[in-house]
């Protein structure tokens, strides 16, 4: 009975850690993709504004 409890605890901890890592990684990837897309757009907008003036 005790060994089952230990296995369950270890497994639960492992799953929580994995889920936490995955969600953190997803957030980082999303932030990186956002930067990658918005940086060139902002730069293009600045160049466009300067060209018009």
Q: What are the pLDDT digits (tens) for 4-45?
A: 999 999 999 999 999 999 999 988 988 898 888 898 899 999
Confidence grade of residue 1 (pLDDT, cut at 50, 70, 90): confident
What per-residue confidence (pLDDT) applies to 21?
93
List the end-to-end C-alpha distance of the chain, in Å, as a whole number: 78
Query: pTM for this structure?
Result: 0.52
CA angle in degrees (0–180, nearest 5) for 47-52-53: 100
What per-residue confidence (pLDDT) applies to 35?
87
Residue ranges of the alpha helices (H) in 1-53? 2-52
Question: Could you tell me the two tokens for 5?
Answer: 């409890």
């Amino acid at each position: 009975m005790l060994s089952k409890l230990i296995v369950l605890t270890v497994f639960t901890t492992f799953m929580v850690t994995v889920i936490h890592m995955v969600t953190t990684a997803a957030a980082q990837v999303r932030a990186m993709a956002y930067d990658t897309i918005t940086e060139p757009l902002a730069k293009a907008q600045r160049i466009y504004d300067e060209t018009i003036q």
